[in-house]
Amino acid sequence: MAEEQARPVLATHSGKFHCDDVFAYAVLRLALGLRAAGEDHILVRTRKPEAIAAADIVWDVGTVYDAAARRFDHHQRGAPERPDGTPFSSAGLVWQEYGEAAVAAILPEEARGFAEGIAAELDRSLILRIDEVDNGVSASGPVRDDDLGLAALAGDFNPPWDSPEAEGPDAGSAAFVAASAFAEGVLRRRVDGMRARRAAEAFVLESHRAGADPQILVLARGMPWKSAVFTHELPVLFCVSPASNGNWMLDTMPPEPGSFAQRMPLPADWAGLQGEELAARCGVADAVFVHLRRFVGAARTREGAVEMARRALATP
């Protein structure tokens, strides 16, 4: 009995679940280092006031928001809103208290310095969107989910009305746990992508500082690099990096995010050429190809790709 009481009790509402309560549960388990319900904590899905009052952490039910008391409901009058007026969902409220710890739990130890920034970025994007869809409103007006949105995909875990899983005191609880595992997977992948982007940015800046020409960025590994160039307003025109097939790629830099244009395209008389014909035209013996649209080329070696970039810069 003492062991049972030592396990924290986490409570949310019974019945049909939504993305916000599913996601909040995933965040809580990560932040608190919890594994599975029944192992190191007790999950209660209920609307009984006495069970809610007895729980250690409550979200999306109970008509109380009090972070200090670990109560995170958003259905009551006077429920909190974001500074822009968008109402919080339970996921948004839980995230304000536990989001950074959840992110830190996902990150490897050497990357945990990114936790605060990643948590803030996720709050502005993923968590805000959950809040908007759950409440059906944003700062700019009504919103709705789409069939491939996270809220819809999480909602699909609910058992249909005529399923045996939709009946009884534990109706939908197994599906709720499965949906939370899905939400955790989404969060883990999103965090890891943001970590990788920040690590790439640091690598890009270091490589640019070490480079011989500020207009040519040379990377020892393939990675996202354009965002760092835009963010830090680097004067990069070309990027050289290794490809998985053993070649070294020569990429051009667009003038703005999302653009298919180039700050400086590769020379017009290289366009669409390959192999020996390209090598003769550009003067680089191991040149492989230049795309007809002049936004990318390749050589067999790092030195060859860098030389192609230098010759492109010198072409009138």
Percent of the chain whose predicted confidence (pLDDT) is above 70: 98
Query: Which carries the bigger pLDDT value, residue 144 or residue 96?
Result: 96
Rg (CA), the chain: 26
Reported as a single tens digit per residue, the pLDDT across 118-159 is: 999 999 999 999 999 999 998 888 998 888 899 999 999 999
pLDDT tens digits, one per residue of 179-228? 999 999 999 999 999 999 999 999 999 999 999 999 999 999 999 999 99
Provide the whole-model pTM: 0.86
What pLDDT, on the 0 to 100 scale, is given for residue 5? 53
pLDDT tens digit sequence for 39-65 = 999 999 999 999 999 999 999 999 999
Residue 163 DSSP label: S
Contacts of 19 (CB under 8 A, 6+ apart): 91, 130, 133, 134, 150, 151, 154, 155, 183
pLDDT recorded at residue 145:
85
User: How does pLDDT run across 252-266, given as a tens digit for each residue?
Assistant: 999 999 999 999 999
Please state, rounded to an integer, the average pLDDT across all residues of the chain. 96
- Model confidence at 4: pLDDT above 70: no
User: Bridge-partner residues for 138, per DSSP?
Assistant: 141
Q: Does pLDDT of 8 surpass 80? A: yes
pLDDT confidence tier of residue 316, bands split at 50, 70 and 90: confident
* pLDDT at position 306: 98
What are the residues facing 298 on neighbouring strands? Answer: 249, 289
Instruction: With CA atoms as reference, report the closest residue to 27 among 187, 203, 147.
Output: 187
Residue-wise pLDDT for 20-44, tens only, equals 999 999 999 999 999 999 999 999 9
pLDDT value, residue 1: 39
Q: Dig out the tokens for 253 from the structure.
A: 């830099």
Q: Which H helix or E strand runs over 282?
A: helix 275-282
